[in-house]
Structure 1
């Protein structure tokens, strides 16, 4: 029962923050953490209650805990590991392509090691070593669970439909190798075109500068593609100086408000990117003081795990206070639970 109450407190706090600003990383993670922890708690409590009804139920519970859960766990880890091979085949070898395999291997090692350490206790190894190992494993598991919370928050953010009239659609750039847009960037542009057809008076802002290894600016390539799709030139605005997502938002904001004629009313702004990048894009829009909601273009399934892990790491780096706070929570838990006071 205390765990249920704690989960509800997290949900209420996170929900209140999101009602005020749904692009709050803190509010979203609080809400997702509380929601997922509540579901997990109720599920475990339900299984325990069922096991108390009869012997057959108890046997079913044993099968679930010792067979079904480990099997699902192994399938998930195996998927992450083999996904790296698919990534390297289709996208080439890189450090980021190995992220999904690293996550799968990490879980395969950390989860069994955590439960083995708990079952062994501190009687067989020095207390200081037991405390350090428990702290490291607990921190690892917490950040793995928070990754699941991030996925839930990201999905939840994109589930709210956007039905109001749109005045501007910012399309965020991504890397190019020629004047032709690659599939990833094309999907972002196609999503922007989809909303443009619903709002034919809207203007599309193509946002992206020219990298050292790019022949033209991303904005130039994007505009060229939009023109080939019969989007009128007068409905395309170019922002070709940005090199980061934050600059995409900040520089596009400047162009939009210079173009906006109705000064008595704020324009309605969307930004188009890939589904895995929508949440971080929204957080950067908030940081740039730009009121804009994101829409996500579909991404190939093999690309999603690596992309989502990369986004999660970037957010932990961006919100260092959050990362440090979670580490301190684990440290306090170890001190209170293991070390003598």
Structure 2
């Protein structure tokens, strides 16, 4: 029961924060953490209750705990590891392509090691070494669980339908190798065009500068593609100086408010990106003090794990206070557990 109460507290805190600002990283993670932890707690309580009913039910619970759960766990790890092979086959070898396999291997090692250490205790190894290992593994598992929370929050954010009439649509750029847009960027632009056809008076802000390895600016390539799709030139605004998502939002904001004629009202703004990038884009929108909602284009399944892991790492880097706080929570837990009673 205490775990249920703790989970509900996290849910309530998350809801209160999200009602005020649905682009809050703390609010979203708090709600997702509470919701997933409550689901897991109720599942375990339910299995224990079923096990008390009869011997046959107890056998079923044992099969679920000792057979189904491990198989599901191994299946998830195998998916992440195999996904790296698919990613490298389709996208080429790179450090980021290996992120999926690293996560799968990490889980395969960390989860069994954590439960083995708990069952073994500190009797066979020095207490200080046991504490360090528990701290490292606990931190590892906590951030792995928070990755699941991030996935849930990201999905939840995108499930809220956008019905407002748009005045501007920001089309966010991504890496290019020529003047032609690659498939990943094309999906973003097609999503922007989809919303443009729903709002034919809207203007599309093409946003993205030129990287050191790019022949032209991303904005130039985006505009070229939009023109080929019969989007009128007068409906396209260029922002070709940004090099990060935050600059995308900041510089696009300046261009939009320079163009906006009705100064008595605030324009309604959308930004178009890939589905895995919508949440982080929304958080940068908030940081840039721009009121805008994100729409996400579908992404190939093989690309999603690596992309989502990369987004999660970027968010942990951006919200350093959150990352440090979680590490301190793990450290405090280990220290309190080690105190003599």
Give the TM-score range, shorter chain: over 0.9
CA distance in 1, matches of 2:340, 2:334: 10
CA distance in 2, matches of 1:43, 1:167: 46
**How far has the Cα of 1:8 moved from its partner?**
0.5
CA distance in 1, matches of 2:49, 2:306: 39
What is the match of residue 99 of structure 2? 99
CA distances 1:280-313 after superposition (whole Å, capped 9, x unpaired):
0000010000111100000000000000000000
Q: How does 1:243-262 map to 2 (within 5 A)?
A: 243-262=243-262
What is the match of residue 230 of structure 1? 230
**How far has the Cα of 1:29 moved from its partner?**
0.3
What is the match of residue 153 of structure 1? 153
CA distance in 1, matches of 2:126, 2:206: 60
What is the match of residue 84 of structure 1? 84
Alignment check: 8 A CA contact 1:246 1:284 kept: yes
CA distance in 1, matches of 2:78, 2:213: 35
What is the match of residue 199 of structure 2? 199
**How far has the Cα of 1:337 moved from its partner?**
1.1
SS at match of 2:280: helix
**How far has the Cα of 1:338 moved from its partner?**
2.1
TM-score when normalising by structure 2:
0.99
Q: How does 1:54-69 map to 2 (within 5 A)?
A: 54-69=54-69
Alignment check: 8 A CA contact 1:205 1:237 kept: yes
**How far has the Cα of 1:174 moved from its partner?**
0.3
What is the match of residue 210 of structure 2? 210
CA distances 1:34-79 after superposition (whole Å, capped 9, x unpaired):
0000010011101100110000111000000100000000010000
SS at match of 1:52: helix
What is the match of residue 314 of structure 1? 314
Structure 2, gaps ≥5 residues long: none
**How far has the Cα of 1:168 moved from its partner?**
0.4
TM-score when normalising by structure 1:
0.99
Q: Does 1:242 align with 2:242?
A: yes
Q: What do you get for the CA RMSD once the two structures are aligned?
A: 0.7
**How far has the Cα of 1:257 moved from its partner?**
0.3
**How far has the Cα of 1:226 moved from its partner?**
0.4
